[in-house]
């Protein structure tokens, strides 16, 4: 049993005046694995003050100095990658071999990508009679989700360090352990006191305290749309900058001439990754009507090869959902799909065979889905795929864009030029073409109600920067 009875504030482990604790549960065993202190507003005030004090000196360091810390951080995390993968797997439920690649090695590549951006803060630009300089925005509140606990944390911390900002991190209640792990590493590598602070606790109290605090200059939030709206409202009174990555309901368009088997298998693998608990998950698959039944057959076959099991088993492709609440939410959506008349192809209600313990859900596929159905419009955050037919490519694009979200999307076509033409018409922040890989040097973020601002790449750095023009 892991016990974190103190918070990481001003480079040290400090006690809270709170006497409340939260329990972290292993979703595969349903057993408690950690007890974590729940902070309060007094803790937030102390953390903000520490960050504010540290900002004076930290923001004046050179880009080379900050790049050094990022380099060492990436090295230390790599040295302990297996330990960290096990920790995330235990709190989240993702199979360990997948957690190593996706939840740990991916974020480390994200850190490395920012090493070369830190020096940009030292650059200035002459525009007419003006000198344009970049300055760190200040004290940043970083509010992180549970589905990719380290990945989303690094997506905020790395650019903040590169820019010269100081920060207060509020990890999720469900999966806070990797944040504490990261704090231990940062203390070990000598990151100056106050640059990174960790305050755990319920979002309603800690998140609100951070968003309304007069000395917090910027809020970066990843989470649900409902909470995102609350964050915007709370931060608005002090006119803070707010960068948000929210929900998604992304569509994969498979064209008439595409390699149907490869494209459908890609789509099924994508939605089932991390048990569907991914904001960019391709939860809608759009198929030409002439290939519709063939695509359904391929999807069913692929889904039924997915091994659902213990995160400790190297044969497992998919683990449990993060919590009993999340499990019930996904089951409710599956029931809603059935009630609204969608055809259940595979999966469905109940637990996978042989898994009586753990928050498991079947890999589920629906066909004959109309885009107006609940399962086609709302973010389910589970392993549930809706397959929708279309008559021509214009209709496919219209269906893909018929959503309040615009976070991601994908196109699979025989002709790359055609795929790019289609991708340009999809209203989302990123589009994957023919199974291309995620790029940590490219901006990531959403259109519409999927958020504002960008993470990763140089655009991600800009969220933590103020621009000053000096007329001379």
What is the Cα–Cα distance from 269 to 306, expressed in whole angstroms? 9
- 3-class DSSP state for residue 452? strand
Angle at 321 between CA 319 and CA 327, to 5 degrees: 135
Asked whether 360 and 320 are in contact (CB, 8 A), the reply is yes
- 3-class DSSP state for residue 55? helix
Asked whether 177 and 186 are in contact (CB, 8 A), the reply is no
* Cβ count within 10 A of residue 406: 23
Q: Which residue has 């309040």 as its token pair?
A: 404
Asked whether 123 and 134 are in contact (CB, 8 A), the reply is yes
Q: Which residue has 């920060």 as its token pair?
A: 167
CA 142 to chain centre: 13
What is the Cα–Cα distance from 110 to 116, expressed in whole angstroms? 11
Instruction: Report the greatest alpha carbon distance in the chain.
Output: 74
What is the Cα–Cα distance from 293 to 179, expressed in whole angstroms? 46
- Which one of the listed residues 140, 243, 279, 463 is annotated catalytic? 279
What is the Cα–Cα distance from 127 to 174, expressed in whole angstroms? 49
Stretch (H or E) spanning 57: helix 41-58
What is the Cα–Cα distance from 220 to 135, expressed in whole angstroms? 18
Asked whether 306 and 275 are in contact (CB, 8 A), the reply is no
**Which pair of structure tokens corresponds to residue 317?**
């492709």
279 tagged catalytic? yes
* Pairing label, strands 432-433, 384-390: unpaired
273 tagged catalytic? no
What is the Cα–Cα distance from 65 to 85, expressed in whole angstroms? 28
DSSP string, 335-387: HHHHHTT-EEEE--SSPPTT--SSS----EEEES--TTSHHHHS---SSEEEE
- Which one of the listed residues 91, 245, 379, 455 is annotated catalytic? 245
What is the Cα–Cα distance from 311 to 97, expressed in whole angstroms? 8
Q: Which residue has 């018409």 as its token pair?
A: 425
* Dihedral sign from CA coordinates of 453, 454, 459, 460: positive
* Sheet architecture: strand order including 21-26: 2-4, 31-37, 21-26
What is the Cα–Cα distance from 241 to 248, expressed in whole angstroms? 22
User: Which residues are part of the catalytic machinery?
Assistant: 245, 279
């Amino acid at each position: 049993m892991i016990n974190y009875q103190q918070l990481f504030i001003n480079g040290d482990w400090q006690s809270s005046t709170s006497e409340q604790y939260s329990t972290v549960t292993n979703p595969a065993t349903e057993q408690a694995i950690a007890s974590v202190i729940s902070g309060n507003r007094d803790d937030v005030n102390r953390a903000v003050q520490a960050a504010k004090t540290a900002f004076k000196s930290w923001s004046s360091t050179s880009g080379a100095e900050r790049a050094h810390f990022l380099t060492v951080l990436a090295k230390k995390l790599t040295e302990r990658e297996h330990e960290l993968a096990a920790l995330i797997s235990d709190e989240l439920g993702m199979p360990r071999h997948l957690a190593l690649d996706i939840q740990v090695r991916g974020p480390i590549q994200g850190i490395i990508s920012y090493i070369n951006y830190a020096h940009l803060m030292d650059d200035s630009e002459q525009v007419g009679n003006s000198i344009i300089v970049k300055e760190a925005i200040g004290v940043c509140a970083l509010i992180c989700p549970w589905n990719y606990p380290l990945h989303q944390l690094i997506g905020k911390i790395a650019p903040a360090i590169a820019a010269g900002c100081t920060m207060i991190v509020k990890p999720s209640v469900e999966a806070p352990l990797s944040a504490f792990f990261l704090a231990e590493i940062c203390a070990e590598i000598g990151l100056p006191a106050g640059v990174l602070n960790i305050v755990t606790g319920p979002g309603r109290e800690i998140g609100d305290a951070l968003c309304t605090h007069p000395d917090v200059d910027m809020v970066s939030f990843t989470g649900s749309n409902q909470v995102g709206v609350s964050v915007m409202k709370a931060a608005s009174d002090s006119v803070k900058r707010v960068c948000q990555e929210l929900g998604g309901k992304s569509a994969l368009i498979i064209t008439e001439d595409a390699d149907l088997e490869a494209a459908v298998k890609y789509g099924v693998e994508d939605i089932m990754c991390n048990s569907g608990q991914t904001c960019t998950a391709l939860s809608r698959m759009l198929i030409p009507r002439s290939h519709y039944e063939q695509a359904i057959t391929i999807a069913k076959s692929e889904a039924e090869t997915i091994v659902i099991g213990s995160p400790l088993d190297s044969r497992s492709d998919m683990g449990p959902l993060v919590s009993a609440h999340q499990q019930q939410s996904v089951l409710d959506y599956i029931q809603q799909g059935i009630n609204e008349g969608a055809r259940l192809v595979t999966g469905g209600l109940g637990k996978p065979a042989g898994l009586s313990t753990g928050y498991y859900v079947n890999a589920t596929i629906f066909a004959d889905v109309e885009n107006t159905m609940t399962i086609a419009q709302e973010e389910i955050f589970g392993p549930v795929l809706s397959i929708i037919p279309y008559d021509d490519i214009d209709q496919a694009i219209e269906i893909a864009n018929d959503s309040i979200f615009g976070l991601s999307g994908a196109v699979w076509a025989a002709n790359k030029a055609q795929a790019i033409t289609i991708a340009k018409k999809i209203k989302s922040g990123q589009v994957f073409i023919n199974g291309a890989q995620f790029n940590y040097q490219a901006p990531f973020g959403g259109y519409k109600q999927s958020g504002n601002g960008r993470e990763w790449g140089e655009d991600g750095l800009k969220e933590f920067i103020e621009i000053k023009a000096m007329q001379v």
